[in-house]
Amino acid sequence: MRLVLASNNAKKLGELGSLFGGLPVALVTQGSLGIAEAEEPHGTFVENALAKARHAAQAAGGPAIADDSGLCVEALGGAPGVISAHYAPVELPSWLPRESHRERQDAANNALLLQRLAGQPDRRARFVCTLVALRHAQDPEPLIAFGRWEGEILQQPAGEGGFGYDPLLFIPSLGKAVAQLDAAVKNAHSHRALAARQMAAMLREAWHLG
């Protein structure tokens, strides 16, 4: 079965591809099929993931899967939440390479988060991932999987790996910030890995795959 991933992120494709490795599915990005990215106007991860999956399924004419993920901080009422990737308002020149654009946005996001948590004793936070799979655009029975990776926001960044808020989220059970973990450990414990394992089990059961 071809399963269209409602993303053009090569890293995300690789992660999900390895986690779905035991299933008879060929995971392809929507970009490889010429499908544009969907709007994400909603206030919750599940609504945005569902919108993206429907968009991809409609355009591809078949099964699709989408995720929406981000950081939720307890003391900020769940913020930055669905706007995690663009938490800080940043004016970036259009000519800037994509990687440099992301690095500057990440740095601004992290700085704003630390500013808003200054003096706050409650540093509890979690990475959240919601995965939604549809057999077709009008599927009345979407499969929905959740992954939550609990941690605490550090006072300052630590580690050189990862991206986004990885240098700020400390995982007590592992004794390190996410940015200090090697890729294998991160991919085994992350919010996306937890959601993907749950989704794989549902695909086997509900869609009779594997």
Distance CA 116, CA 75 (A): 10
What one-letter code names the amino acid at 4? Answer: V
Q: Report the SS3 class of residue 204.
A: helix
Token pair, residue 188, equals 């085994």
In the set 68, 106, 122, 166, the catalytic residue is 68
Under 8 Å between Cβ of 105 and 124: no
Looking at residue 62, the DSSP 8-state letter turns out to be S
Select from 92, 85, 128, 134 the least CA-distant residue to 110. 85
- Contact call for residues 49 and 7 (beta carbons, < 8 A): no
Asked if 67 is an active-site residue, the reply is no
Which residue numbers are catalytic? 68
